[in-house]
Chains A and B, each alone.
Chain A
Amino acid sequence: MNSFLDSIGYNNWILPVLLLLPLAGALVVAALGMAAGKGADRKTPELRRLVLGIFTLEAVLSLGMWWSVNVGSADWQAGFAVPWIPAWGIRFAVGVDGISMTLILLTTLIMPLAVLGGWTSIREKVHSYYALLMVLTTGMLGVFMALDLMLFFVMWELMLVPMYLIIGVWGGQRRLYASLKFFLYTMTGSMLMLVGIIYLGTQAADIAGHPSFAYDQILHNAQLSPAAQLWLFGAFALAFAVKVPMFPFHTWLPDAHVEAPTAGSVILAAIMLKMGTFGFLRYALPLFPSAAMNPTVRALILTLAVVGIVYGALVALVQPDFKKLVAYSSVSHLGFVMLGIFALTPQSVQGALMVNLSHGVSTGALFLMIGMVYERRHTRLIADYGGIAKVMPVFATLLTVVCLSSIGVPGTNGFIGEFLVLIGAFRSQPVYAVIAATAVIFAAAYLLWALQRIIYNPLTKPENERLQDLNWREIGLLIPLIAAIIWMGVYPAPVLEKTSAAANRLITHVHQAGNMAGAGMMGEEIK
């Protein structure tokens, strides 16, 4: 496989191609939409096949990275850089390591499924919808690839507008409130980060003579006082905490999820919720290690993470709306990721990455499945269902598997991540780990209770008696996700090996740099 990929120079062009393909697709789709004029929506069947084709091509192209990327190397892989705005030292520079590679694959593999999930439910302004999905894809991939802080920020903001419109135009009844809340929340969070990025760029000018936003340069050469680090960490952390979302910055998420159309919810949960924790891993921790290792800062973040875990689970328990329930469960799951990252042991960090991936798969699948019954019954209220395993046995079976993975039952992907986070976190932060572990009880409670009220119990509502089971498209799009759930639960070693070198480099770097800055690390061993 590798020699084939080498022979076509795969690593030289893959990243720009992955970024440009959806962008080009968006232009084509928009142009088709304008050309078709008023009757454009009648072209939906042809259009969605084209879109699915583009996303499938994107996914297939990206798969080569699994083999071509040398995850053991300390250098950026598949790197690509050209000057962009030379006067300000901004470059279009991209590259990946094991961590970003797995997230890119998650993105490219989820996107075609998200398109299939909204196959028949998007009926208006179809061209705009698909064009926005494609722009969004470029933005998300760009965030994971960027090696220039300004490029990173541009991509970060590029994600925001399409999602705002997807929720605001194709969303549910309260879509305007939800989309505005989503936009303002994230925007406010990001503004300070922009200030921080500009500060870092000009700071580089003091050293190198010209401004630079290159990631490596700032990582290795920036001379930041502990006080400056604290301010900068705060600016970045706020932007990321909103995106994670960490308690108490999470309240945009339930509204956004509930109002978003199926594909919007899927992308939001499966991919965009990874941005915040990725930001901590790539930027906030390694760039400002002494701030991140500051005992007060660390205790604050760990506390918020653990509060989020328990709080999200408890609030999920009492949600009458299934989408909201899953949204709050995301707050809980992402709390595990934050706990794993800030516990900063090899097991906890790799566990955090694993939780990210499995949350993407499982919660993505959950939102897809909610969309499937919503299309049939036009309600998300748990109380409107009950006993539908009788009429939708395939749906019930698959929903059970997905719920079990979200609960973290061993043998599924959900267990691996949570177990590694907790066993790793216990070594450095035992109290936080034990409190977080109580979530295994709550997770079972909220999901099994919901599952019972949806698929079990007597079938009493006449509307539910006529429900049709899943069709082949729906079954087909769930099969890859179910396969991933089992594969990552039974044989996660290949995935873990992809991320181990990058995770260990990060841990070593943060511990060393944090210690040099004299922020008072407690001398934790790196095992």
Chain B
Amino acid sequence: MMNAQLPETGHPLADTVARFVWLLPLLPLLGFVINGALALGAVAKIGPDDPSAGHDHHDAHDHGSGHDDHGHGHGHGHGHGDHHPVRHEYAGIVSLVGPGVLLATFGLAVAMFLAMRGVNMEEPFVLQLFRWMPVGDLKINAAFQLDQLSMVMVLIITGIGSLIHIFSVGYMQDDPGYPRYFAYLNLFVFFMLLLVLGANYPLMFVGWEGVGLCSYLLIGFWFSEEANANAGKKAFIVNRIGDFGFLVAMFMLFANVGTLDYANMAEAAQKLPMGGAVITAICLFFFLGCTGKSAQIPLYVWLPDAMAGPTPVSALIHAATMVTAGVYLIARSSILFSMAPVASLTVALVGGLTALFAATIGLKQWDIKKVLAYSTVSQLGYMFVGVGVGAYTAGVFHLMTHAFFKALLFLGSGSVIFAMHRAYHATHNHDDAQDMRNMGGLKKFMPVTWGLMWIATLAIAGIPPFAGFFSKDEILGTVFARANAGPLSTATLLGVPGHVVLLTVYVIGLASALLTAIYMTRMMMYTFHGPNRTGEAERSHLAEAPWIMTGPLVVLGLLSAFGGWLNLPELLPIGPIGTLEHWLEPVVGVATARMAGSGEHVAVDTEWVLIGVAVAIAVIGMSVAFARLKPAALVQKSASPASEGFAKVLEHKYYVDEFYDDAIVQPVKGISTTVLWKGVDAGIIDGLFVNGSAAFTRALGWMGAQLQTGQVGTYAWVLVIGVLALLGAFTSGR
């Protein structure tokens, strides 16, 4: 990797720190290697030379000695039960290496960002490393592309990633798998950086599946509980359905366009007719990939289960970074999607429906992480609405602000769970530390977390001037504008005119915003307000988490509050206007213009109305929640009655998991067992043909054996008859 060829000379970044772009993924990879070696080194006990004779040795095996004991359920990482938590023997060096490599990577990324700001850069900076798959006219290189879009993503990944790594030092401190945790987390960042820095689709796919792998490993981190292992496996397999789409899209792209590099995609794609079947299919297959990785209908089902992993993992992977990869993919492929209006409309519609659908489920969840999980699915839907309607900057902007406030919400919930768990641990209570019915009134015990989480809640609800307001408003505003003009409004999706689709998406977006405000307020009220329901004995143990955890929350709080300034609309000139939009212009500008058509802006009056409606909806949602919900009426989880009617349907997430299981999983298993294996393999092929022909041969052999009676007399007669018959045949023939 070191002997990288220099890129085309003359690129303004060629002589800057950017030529070390390969170091960005390499540093976390190094962290993975070190932490992984420590993890394995701590638990490995090399077996005896002759394993089959190994039963004499089992006395030497001190079973259950703490550090190889991964079995901690309850969705958190702290030792519980009978033994007192012990810090891992390598905890010191791991705490240094794990977050250390991330901070170094972030520092390097900032240096590159400053270098990029210093030059005038129209072309992306591509660094060729080595030939990866050179076969015939398929020439895939290992190459990194640093441009404005990948730079933004790198900053988000390493910046938020650093905060979450630091938080994890506190959150995971007593976990016996401490080095393994940081190894996986470092590996995740490596793959995530590969995903956004790769200069072609196959390389993005390496990162794409690599982050999925780390997600799998981290969801099932406490693998001794079957539910966790199941959740990890489900995430991987459901994602693979999406990956199938990604693969087919690449095959079609190569067969029809002849390249998989981003660099000459814009030019090469012009071979394809605008809005034709091929480009539409390519984009739809890519989007199938997005529905897997970014948890959209119909493949969203893995994300809520993914909450089985440690909470910082949920913050980093299942909220801030990995799940937004689909949004990045579409922004990266904006040239292609802007050529396929039907595909773009599909993206927007699916995104909108997902936003609404997930928000309704979020209304009735009791597990604090499940609320946030469905909220994430819903917010990802918003991002897809954005990139679907060609508001690529707005989609990326919402990706960014969401990374701020959702990471804050998840880490905050992590602090809450941490506190709850400590309290339960102190009193040897085994109740559910994540159920909001067991919380309540935590404001008094955790005032900092309470305040910061309210900032994030206002941000996600869309209350100005918090970050989420600006990004969400920009998305909804663009949907409205695209319904009035541009290629999307004139296209049709399954016979429905584009402007009707888009207006529907707009209304759905507003409805989802209303629900978002309601479920978030509900979560805050049940967790922090009203009377405390944790229990008398436990109450005295509830306390704020240590500063190594609260510190990162404060930073995220600031970002959630002021993140909107990164891309202010012209209407609100309270700072620099459209910074992010100008920044991303070289990457998504052409596609955005194409999608906008003639209708770049709606009238200023209309725009004010749209903003007014959006803010009003958010305020109404929060007020409704405040007025209607009665935290005082809640009782502990164990004493709560089961819900009924539609509430029950929501609590069971519309029974979609059950439906998938009945309609797909069980039939596949059943058919494979009874029809294919027992039927075709054992029955027809083996039973009928293979063993059947053997039986047939045996039968022939038996008949032959019957003829061989061993009586010479019989043989003689047969011989004579045979000779006579032959003679007769020959003579009569002549």
Does B82 count as interface, using CB distance less than 8 angstroms? no
Does B47 count as interface, using CB distance less than 8 angstroms? yes
> Would you call A346 and B237 a contact (CB within 8 A)?
no
> Would you call B248 and A437 a contact (CB within 8 A)?
yes
In the complex formed, the residue of B with least CB distance to A120 is B50
Closest Cβ–Cβ distance, residue B62 to chain A (whole Å): 12
> Would you call A410 and B63 a contact (CB within 8 A)?
no
A260 to B135: give the CA distance in the assembly, Å.
37
In the complex formed, the residue of A with least CB distance to B228 is A456
A440 to B138: give the CA distance in the assembly, Å.
22
> Would you call A248 and B685 a contact (CB within 8 A)?
yes
Which stretch from A56-64, A152-160, A313-321 is at the chain B interface? A313-321
A390 touching B209 in the complex, CB below 8 Å, given contacts A317-B669, A471-B48? no
A455 to B48: give the CA distance in the assembly, Å.
20
Partner of A493, one of B134, B213, B223, B229: B134
A445 touching B673 in the complex, CB below 8 Å, given contacts A394-B44, A474-B47? no
> Would you call A452 and B229 a contact (CB within 8 A)?
yes
Closest Cβ–Cβ distance, residue A423 to chain B (whole Å): 5
B668 / chain A contacts, CB cutoff of 8 Å: 314, 317
Does B663 count as interface, using CB distance less than 8 angstroms? no
> Would you call A411 and B685 a contact (CB within 8 A)?
no
> Would you call B237 and A441 a contact (CB within 8 A)?
yes
Interface string of A417-445 (1 = CB under 8 A from B): 00110111011001001100110110011
In the complex formed, the residue of A with least CB distance to B684 is A248
Does B600 count as interface, using CB distance less than 8 angstroms? no
Which stretch from A34-42, A210-218, A220-228, A462-470 is at the chain B interface? A462-470
A314 touching B224 in the complex, CB below 8 Å, given contacts A423-B138, A441-B240? no
In the complex formed, the residue of B with least CB distance to A504 is B136
Interface string of B354-374 (1 = CB under 8 A from A): 000000000000000000000
Does A472 count as interface, using CB distance less than 8 angstroms? yes
A446 to B636: give the CA distance in the assembly, Å.
41
Does B720 count as interface, using CB distance less than 8 angstroms? no
B677 / chain A contacts, CB cutoff of 8 Å: 315, 318-319
A351 to B133: give the CA distance in the assembly, Å.
10
In the complex formed, the residue of B with least CB distance to A389 is B223
A510 to B588: give the CA distance in the assembly, Å.
46
Partner of B251, one of A248, A389, A422, A438: A422
Partner of A438, one of B130, B224, B244: B244
A468 to B58: give the CA distance in the assembly, Å.
8
Does A185 count as interface, using CB distance less than 8 angstroms? yes
Quick one: which of B35-60 are within 8 Å of A by CB? Answer: 40, 43-55, 57-58
Does B132 count as interface, using CB distance less than 8 angstroms? yes
Partner of A251, one of B54, B55, B133, B690: B690
Does A161 count as interface, using CB distance less than 8 angstroms? no
A468 touching B61 in the complex, CB below 8 Å, given contacts A390-B224, A393-B44? yes
A427 to B669: give the CA distance in the assembly, Å.
32
Does B225 count as interface, using CB distance less than 8 angstroms? yes
Interface string of A191-222 (1 = CB under 8 A from B): 00000000000000000000000000000000
B251 / chain A contacts, CB cutoff of 8 Å: 422-423, 426, 430, 433-434, 437
Interface string of B53-90 (1 = CB under 8 A from A): 11101100101000011110000000000000000000
B128 / chain A contacts, CB cutoff of 8 Å: none
Does B626 count as interface, using CB distance less than 8 angstroms? no
In the complex formed, the residue of B with least CB distance to A313 is B672
A411 touching B210 in the complex, CB below 8 Å, given contacts A448-B237, A493-B130? yes
Does B137 count as interface, using CB distance less than 8 angstroms? yes
Partner of B131, one of A251, A440, A474, A493: A493
Partner of B202, one of A120, A419, A433, A474: A419
Closest Cβ–Cβ distance, residue B674 to chain A (whole Å): 9
Does B577 count as interface, using CB distance less than 8 angstroms? no
Closest Cβ–Cβ distance, residue A303 to chain B (whole Å): 15
> Would you call A466 and B135 a contact (CB within 8 A)?
no
A251 touching B52 in the complex, CB below 8 Å, given contacts A441-B240, A449-B233? no
B672 / chain A contacts, CB cutoff of 8 Å: 314-315, 317-318
> Would you call A390 and B70 a contact (CB within 8 A)?
yes
In the complex formed, the residue of A with least CB distance to B47 is A468
A15 to B138: give the CA distance in the assembly, Å.
34
A27 to B130: give the CA distance in the assembly, Å.
48
A351 to B209: give the CA distance in the assembly, Å.
20
Closest Cβ–Cβ distance, residue B467 to chain A (whole Å): 34
Does A166 count as interface, using CB distance less than 8 angstroms? no
A410 / chain B contacts, CB cutoff of 8 Å: 202, 205-206, 208-210
> Would you call A468 and B48 a contact (CB within 8 A)?
yes
> Would you call B47 and A393 a contact (CB within 8 A)?
no
A318 touching B669 in the complex, CB below 8 Å, given contacts A492-B133, A493-B131, A527-B136? yes
Does B243 count as interface, using CB distance less than 8 angstroms? yes
> Would you call A469 and B45 a contact (CB within 8 A)?
yes
> Would you call B51 and A372 a contact (CB within 8 A)?
yes
In the complex formed, the residue of A with least CB distance to B210 is A411
> Would you call A376 and B240 a contact (CB within 8 A)?
no
> Would you call B136 and A452 a contact (CB within 8 A)?
no
Does B15 count as interface, using CB distance less than 8 angstroms? no
Quick one: which of B211-249 are within 8 Å of A by CB? Answer: 213, 216, 220, 223-226, 229-230, 232-233, 236-237, 240-241, 243-244, 247-248
Closest Cβ–Cβ distance, residue A428 to chain B (whole Å): 9
Does A75 count as interface, using CB distance less than 8 angstroms? no
> Would you call B51 and A120 a contact (CB within 8 A)?
yes
Quick one: which of A218-272 are within 8 Å of B by CB? Answer: 248, 251-252
Closest Cβ–Cβ distance, residue B247 to chain A (whole Å): 5
Partner of A397, one of B40, B54, B255: B40
A347 touching B136 in the complex, CB below 8 Å, given contacts A393-B68, A419-B202, A468-B61? yes
In the complex formed, the residue of B with least CB distance to A378 is B52
> Would you call A426 and B134 a contact (CB within 8 A)?
no
A458 touching B224 in the complex, CB below 8 Å, given contacts A318-B672, A468-B57, A496-B133? yes
B250 / chain A contacts, CB cutoff of 8 Å: 423
A400 to B410: give the CA distance in the assembly, Å.
29
> Would you call B686 and A251 a contact (CB within 8 A)?
yes
B134 / chain A contacts, CB cutoff of 8 Å: 493, 496-497
A469 to B48: give the CA distance in the assembly, Å.
8
Closest Cβ–Cβ distance, residue B48 to chain A (whole Å): 6
A509 / chain B contacts, CB cutoff of 8 Å: none
Closest Cβ–Cβ distance, residue B71 to chain A (whole Å): 7
A185 / chain B contacts, CB cutoff of 8 Å: 690
B237 / chain A contacts, CB cutoff of 8 Å: 441, 444-445, 448
> Would you call A440 and B243 a contact (CB within 8 A)?
yes
Interface string of B110-130 (1 = CB under 8 A from A): 000000000000000000001
B671 / chain A contacts, CB cutoff of 8 Å: 314
Q: List 23 A-B contacts (CB under 8 A).
A: A251-B690, A314-B676, A319-B677, A387-B223, A390-B68, A391-B68, A394-B44, A397-B40, A409-B209, A423-B250, A433-B251, A445-B240, A457-B229, A458-B226, A466-B63, A468-B58, A469-B44, A471-B48, A472-B49, A475-B46, A492-B133, A493-B130, A496-B134
- A311-B680, A468-B58 given. 12 additional CB < 8 A pairs? A387-B223, A397-B40, A419-B247, A420-B133, A437-B247, A444-B240, A452-B233, A457-B223, A468-B47, A468-B54, A470-B47, A471-B51
The 8 A-B residue pairs with the shortest CB-CB distance, nearest first, are A346-B136, A468-B47, A426-B251, A456-B223, A456-B229, A410-B206, A471-B47, A314-B672
Mark A residues whose CB is within 8 Å of B.
120-121, 181, 184-185, 248, 251-252, 311, 314-315, 317-319, 345-347, 350-351, 372, 375-376, 387, 389-391, 393-394, 397, 404, 409-411, 415-416, 419-420, 422-424, 426-427, 430, 433-434, 437-438, 440-441, 444-445, 448-449, 452, 455-459, 465-466, 468-475, 491-493, 496-497, 500, 504, 527
Mark B residues whose CB is within 8 Å of A.
40, 43-55, 57-58, 61, 63, 68-71, 130-138, 202, 205-206, 208-210, 213, 216, 220, 223-226, 229-230, 232-233, 236-237, 240-241, 243-244, 247-248, 250-252, 254-255, 668-669, 671-673, 676-677, 680-681, 685-686, 689-690, 694
